[in-house]
């Protein structure tokens, strides 16, 4: 039973990693840029949500914050990221890394180094009991939100004309172009989608984590690990990896607390050793 608690808890944590890692993976898969500034959008999401909560309330702030940050993402794609799709990938890494640092300092200048506080409504606090099984009510709600977002993104990619072009663009951009389809608008849309998912994660987690300038830098490493474990180009690979990372961390803390944080890197090491392409990574021609 105790272990079950840790497994469920790990799944929630995995869901949180997932919101960030999925966007990172999509942007990399189709654009070929590892967006190290992705964590910054997560931080923006949290800060905007905290700032908005004073004016429009907790719930609306969670909905509006990703929209506001999505607009930032649009500008980011239009004026910066777009120039690096065809460039040497190291340049993309450097520019997004630089942006991540700028974003962190910007948050420090605007909001100060001290963490901001975000309090959730009293009604969402507390634990849910199922017999002897205890769980945080707020986190269960988060799990529900993540599931909805996940299904939404999956339907978008699998069942719509938009998704077909995106998937084709990941595998064979040259073929997409040969069919007379410009990939550029789709890239923009994917970046905006990924960025707003990161912002949503920030807004949702603001009440239970610390809203401080370096929060983006903290999360990007784990998100990156999830993407590597899951494998590129695979929707379910990222999902599986995120949940696995959450659960492995929880179980490790249960038995060997000291190894909790190291466990996810050990997991990455093992996966890369046995399956260098990641758990469900597909063979993508342009990356080979």
Partner 1 sequence: MVTRDNQRKVYNRRKVLQAGAALAGVSALGFPAVVSGQSNKIKIGHLTPLTGFLGALGAYAQLGIRMAEEEINRSGGVLGRQIEIISEDSVNPATGATKAQRMFEQDGVALLMGEINSAVALTIMQVAERNKRLFLQIGARSDALRGKNCNKYTFHVDIPNTVMVYAVGKALVRDNMVRGKKFFTLTADYIFGHDLLNAAKRFFAANNGNLIGDELIATDVTDFSPYLLKIRQARPDVVCSNLAGNQVTTLIKQYSEFGLPYPIVGFNLNTADAWAAGEGNLAGTWPTPWYHTLDVPASKTFVDNFTKKNGKPPENHAWIEYISLKMMAQAMNDAKTTDNNKLIEHLEKQSEFDVLKARKAYFRSWDHQLMQEAYPFTVKPKGQAKDRWDLIALGGAVPGASESLEVLAPTREQNPCSMSS
Q: 44 with 175: CB under 8 angstroms? A: no
Give the whole-angstrom CA distance, residue 245 versus residue 278.
13
Q: Does 111 bind partner 1 (CB under 8 A)?
A: no
CA distance readout (Å), 221 to 4, 85, 178, 270: 27, 22, 37, 17
Q: Are 215 and 46 in contact (CB under 8 A)?
A: yes
CB 38 within 8 A of CB 24: yes
Please count the other Cβ atoms lying within 10 Å of the Cβ belonging to residue 78. Answer: 13
Q: Which residue in the set 51, 64, 74, 89 belongs to the binding site for partner 1 (CB under 8 A)?
A: 89
Determine the length of the chain.
288
Per-residue b/e over 87-111, b at no fewer than 16 CB within 10 Å? Answer: eeeeebeebbeebbeebbebbeeeb
The string of DSSP letters for 49-77 reads HHHHHHHH-HHHHHHHHHHHHHHHHHHHH
Q: Does 25 bind partner 1 (CB under 8 A)?
A: no
Q: Which residues within the stretch 215-234 sit at the binding site for partner 1 (CB under 8 A)?
A: 215, 217-218, 220-221, 224, 228, 232
Q: Which stretch binds partner 1 (CB under 8 A): 59-67, 71-79, 122-130, 159-167?
A: 122-130
Site for partner 1 in 42-81 (CB under 8 A): none
Q: Closest CB to partner 1 among 78 and 125?
A: 125
Determine, following the binding rule CB under 8 A, whether residue 163 of this chain makes contact with partner 1.
Answer: no
- The answer to the question of residue 103 lying near partner 1 (CB under 8 A) is no
Task: Please report how close the Cβ of residue 147 comes to partner 1 at its closest, in angstroms.
Answer: 18
Cα dihedral sign, 80-86-88-89: positive
Give the nearest distance from C-beta 287 to partner 1 in angstroms: 4
| Residue 19 near partner 1 by CB under 8 A | no
Determine the 3-state secondary structure of 98 from DSSP. Answer: helix
Query: Which region, judged by CB under 8 A, interacts with partner 1, from 1-9, 69-77, 156-164, 195-203?
Result: 1-9
9 binding partner 1? (CB under 8 A): yes
* Residue 21 in the binding site for partner 1 (CB under 8 A): no
Q: CA dist 22 to 91, 164, 229, Å?
A: 22, 17, 12
Residue 141 sits in the site that holds partner 1 (CB under 8 A): no
Q: Is 131 in the site for partner 1 (CB under 8 A)?
A: no
> Contacts with partner 1 in 164-193 (CB under 8 A)?
173-174, 176-177, 180, 182-184
Choice from 113, 151, 256, 270 touching partner 1 (CB under 8 A):
113
Which residue of 32, 66, 73, 202 would you call a contact of partner 1, by CB under 8 A? 32
Range in contact with partner 1 (rule: CB under 8 A) among 58-66, 109-117, 143-151, 195-203? 109-117
Q: Is 274 in the site for partner 1 (CB under 8 A)?
A: no
């Amino acid at each position: 039973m105790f272990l079950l608690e840790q497994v469920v808890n790990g799944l929630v944590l995995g869901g949180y990693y997932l919101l960030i890692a999925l966007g990172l993976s999509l942007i990399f898969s189709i654009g070929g840029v590892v967006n190290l500034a992705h964590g910054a959008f997560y931080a923006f999401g949290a800060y905007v949500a905290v700032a908005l909560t004073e004016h429009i309330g907790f719930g609306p702030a969670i909905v509006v914050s990703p929209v506001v940050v999505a607009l930032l993402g649009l500008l980011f794609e239009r004026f910066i990221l777009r120039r690096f799709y065809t460039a040497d990938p190291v340049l993309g890494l450097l520019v997004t890394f630089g942006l991540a640092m700028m974003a962190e300092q910007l948050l420090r200048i605007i909001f100060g180094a001290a963490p901001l506080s975000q309090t959730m409504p009293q009604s969402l606090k507390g634990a849910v009991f199922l017999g002897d099984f205890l769980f945080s009510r707020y986190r269960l709600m988060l799990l529900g939100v993540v599931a909805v977002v996940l299904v939404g993104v999956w339907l978008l990619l699998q069942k719509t004309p938009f998704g077909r072009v995106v998937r084709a663009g990941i595998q064979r951009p040259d073929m997409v172009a040969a069919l007379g389809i410009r990939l550029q608008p789709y890239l923009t849309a994917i970046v905006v989608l990924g960025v707003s998912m990161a912002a949503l994660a920030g807004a949702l987690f603001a009440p239970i984590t610390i809203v401080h300038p370096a929060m983006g830098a903290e999360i990007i490493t784990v998100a990156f690990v999830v993407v590597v474990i899951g494998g590129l180009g695979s929707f379910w690979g990222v999902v599986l990896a995120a949940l696995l990372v959450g659960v492995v961390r929880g179980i490790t803390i249960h038995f060997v607390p000291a190894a909790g944080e190291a466990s996810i890197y050990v997991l990455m090491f093992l996966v890369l050793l046995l399956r260098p392409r990641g758990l469900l990574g597909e063979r993508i021609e342009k990356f080979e």
